[in-house]
Structure 1
Amino acid sequence: MFKFNTFKPVVAGLALAAAAMVAAPRAEAEIVVMGGNPEGSLFYAQSQAIGAVIGKHTDIRVDVLPQSPTVYFPMFMTQEADIGLSSPIEADFAARAIGPYEGANGGEGYPLTTLMIGSPIRLSIVVRGNAGIETLADLKGKRVVADYGAFAGSSITAEAALANAGLTADDVEVVSVSSYPEGVSAVIEGRADAAVGSMGSGILQQLNAAEGAKLLSIDPSDEAMARSREIGAAFVPLEVKAGPVGADEDIFVLSYGTTLYARPDLSDETVTTVLKAVWDHYEELKAIHPSLATWTPDRFASTQTMVPYHPAAVAFYKEQGVWTDEVDARNAEVSGQ
Structure 2
Amino acid sequence: MKLGLKIYSVLLLLLLVISGCSSESNSEGSGNSSSGETLKYSIAAGSTGGGFHSGGTALSTVLNENTSNLETVVEVTGSSKDNVQLLQAGEVEMGLSSTEIAWEAYNGEFTFEGQPHDKLRTLFPGWPGVYMFVTLEDSGIDSVHDLDGKKYSSGPKGSANEVYADRVFKTFGIEPEIVNLPTSDAANALKDGTIDGFSIAWPSSAVTELETSHDVKIVLLGDEDKQEFLDQNPPYVWLDIPVGTYKAVPNGAESFGLYNLFLVSSDISEDTVYEIVKAAYENTDYIKQVWPQMADGMATEFVDKTTIPYHPGAVKYFEEQGVEIPEDLLPPESN
Tell me the TM-score range normalised by the shorter chain.
Answer: 0.7 to 0.9
> Structure 1 residues 44 and 199 mapped into 2: Cα distance closer, same or farther (>3 Å)?
same
Are 2:131 and 2:220, in contact at CA under 8 Å, matched by a contact in 1?
Answer: no
Matches within 5 A, 1:186-197: 186-197=189-200
Deviation for aligned residue 1:333 = 11
Query: What CA distance in whole angstroms lies between the structure 1 residues aligned with 2:332 and 2:107?
Result: 11
Q: Which residue of 2 aligns with 1:150?
A: 157
Contact 1:124 1:198 in 2 (8 A): yes
Match of 2:104 among 85, 88, 93: 93
TM-score by length of 2: 0.77
Aligned to 2:11: none
Residue from 163, 173, 196 that aligns with 2:176:
173
Aligned-residue RMSD, C-alpha: 3.0
Contact 1:220–1:252, Cα closer than 8 Å, also in 2: no
2:55 alignment counterpart: 46
Report how many residues are paired: 298
* Equivalent residue, structure 1, for 2:210: 207
Change (3 A) 1:159 1:263: same
CA contact (8 A) 1:242 1:251 kept: no
State the partner residue of 1:261. 263
**Deviations for 1:133-185, whole angstroms, at most 9, x for unmatched residues?**
23334434443334x4633311122135557xxx53x3232312154444444
Query: Are residues 207 and 172 of structure 1, via their aligned partners in 2, closer, same or farther at CA, if it must alter by over 3 Å?
Result: farther
**Structure 1 residues 254-282: Cα deviation after superposition (integer angstroms, max 9, x where no partner):** 33221010111111111100111112221
Q: Check the 8 A contact 2:106/2:120 in 1, yes or no.
A: yes
Structure 1 CA distance for aligned equivalents of residues 308 and 247 of structure 2 = 32
Tell me how far 1:290 sits from its aligned partner: 3.2
Residue 305 of structure 1 corresponds to 306
Does structure 1 residue 218 correspond to structure 2 residue 221? Answer: yes
Aligned to 1:17: none
Does the CA-based 8 Å contact 1:219-1:225 persist in structure 2?
no
* Aligned residue in 2 for 1:79: 90
**Aligned counterpart for 1:277 among listed residues 259, 276, 279:** 279
With over 3 angstroms needed to count, the CA separation of the structure-2 counterparts of 1:117 and 1:293, relative to structure 1, is: closer
Alignment counterpart, residue 32 of structure 1, candidates 11, 17, 41: 41
Residue in structure 2 matched with residue 319 of structure 1 by the alignment? 320
**Which SS does the other structure have where 1:256 is aligned?**
strand
Native 8 Å contact 1:241 1:250 kept in 2: yes
Most deviating of 262-271 and 291-300: 291-300
Using the alignment, how far apart are the partners of 1:257 and 1:309 within structure 2? 15
Aligned-pair identity in percent equals 18
Q: Give the corresponding residue for 1:159.
A: 166
Distance 1:31 1:234, change over 3 A: farther
**1:295 corresponding residue in structure 2:** 297
C-alpha separation between the residues in 1 aligned to 2:223 and 2:270? 40
Q: What amino acid is aligned across from residue 134 of structure 1 in structure 2?
A: D
Matched residue of 2:226: which SS? helix
Q: Which residue of 2 aligns with 1:252?
A: 254
Displacement of 1:113: 0.6
Q: What SS is found at the alignment partner of 1:90?
A: helix
Does residue 74 of structure 2 align to residue 64 of structure 1?
yes
1:10 corresponds to which residue?
none
Change (3 A) 1:142 1:334: farther
Question: Aligned partners of 2:95 and 2:233: how far apart in 1?
Answer: 22
Of stretches 227-236 and 309-318 in structure 1, the one that deviates more from structure 2 is 227-236
Matched to 1:203, the amino acid is A
> Match of 1:122, SS?
strand
Taking a change above 3 Å as real, the CA distance of residues 101 and 206 of structure 1, as seen in their structure-2 partners, is: farther
List, as ranges, runs of 4+ consecutive aligned residues in structure 1 with deviation greater than 6 Å. Answer: none
Q: Counterparts of 1:171 and 1:95 in 2: how far apart (Å)?
A: 30
- The structure with the largest alpha-carbon Rg is 2
Tell me what 2:10 maps to.
none
The structure-2 alpha-carbon separation of the partners of 1:71 and 1:135, relative to structure 1 and needing over 3 Å to count, comes to closer
TM-score computed with the length of structure 1 as normaliser: 0.76
Aligned to 1:7: none
User: Contact 1:199–1:244 at 8 Å: present in 2 too?
Assistant: no
